[in-house]
Amino acid sequence: MNVTAVIPARGGSKGIPGKNVAEVGGVPLVARAVRACLGAAHVTRVVVSTDDEAIAAAARAAGAEVVERPTALGSDEASSESALLHALDRLEEGPARPVDVLVFVQCTSPFLTAEEVDACVLAVVRDGADSSFTAAPFHGFLWSTTPDAGPGHHAHGVNHDSASRPRRQDRTPEYLETGSVYAMRADGFRTHGHRFFGRVQLVPTAPERAIEIDEPGDLVRARALAPLLDAPPCGPAPAARQNPAAPSPPRPSQYLGKEL
């Protein structure tokens, strides 16, 4: 079974210039994502899709293959799905074996673990889901606002009745999508064109690790937390996958050969 992780990482971030090669715990974000994927037992190939030379160099140094993304797919308007579809097309050219399971990883989640990547893959290949994603338990009371007749806005509860404040243990469990990793049947992704289709399964993850870097303050917070959350530290890529000039062939998985 071909389980391929694709990490889209464009170079044109506006909020944090050079974000995908910004370091957390002394390691570029793209390299952290690559190493989490390389450490996953059920991922057979790790690829970074990018339009940026610095990102490509960091990805290769961490042990990933690189797919060069067209400039048009690196704009603010281009979706992650468009980058994934382009990568699939390039990876399946010629005699290459088609991808069975596509793992979509975002390097803006610096504390993603190999275990979380594996759990998303297993939700598909073992549990029979069509797509899966990581989510953190969420117990907050959400509010929204609507314009009021007078000054300001009128607030109203979204996921609760504002007249009732049930205890956490009495509430229906809710989960917040972390944005770090998704796994999906590749043929289903091609058919539907988006990451959620068919039977969707969530993979619970630790809330303290669910940090997504979108704003400069997020990067500051991640760097402050790295000494606490990087245990064991983000070490070098596995020896068999370290040579960026000669990527090793896809790794075996215990699910190799099983039908999806």
* Per-residue tokens: 204: 């619970």
CA distance 19 to 25: 14
Confidence class for position 104, pLDDT limits 50, 70, 90 = very high
Q: Is the pLDDT of residue 79 over 90?
A: no
The answer to whether the bond into 232 is cis (omega within 30° of 0) is yes
CA distance 1 to 253: 8
Using DSSP's 3-state secondary structure scheme, residue 143 falls into strand
Give pLDDT tens digits for 17-45: 889 999 999 999 999 999 999 999 999 99
For the CA atoms of 103, 209, 213, 84, the dihedral, rounded to the nearest 10 degrees, stands at 0
CA distance 24 to 3: 27
- In the annotation, is 165 catalytic? yes
- Up-side HSE of residue 226: CA atoms within 13 Å toward CB? 19
Give pLDDT tens digits for 135-145: 999 988 898 88
Task: Give the active site residue among 90, 126, 165, 190.
Answer: 165
CA 183-186-191 angle, to 5 degrees, is 120
Query: Average pLDDT in the 226-234 region?
Result: 76
pTM (two decimals): 0.84
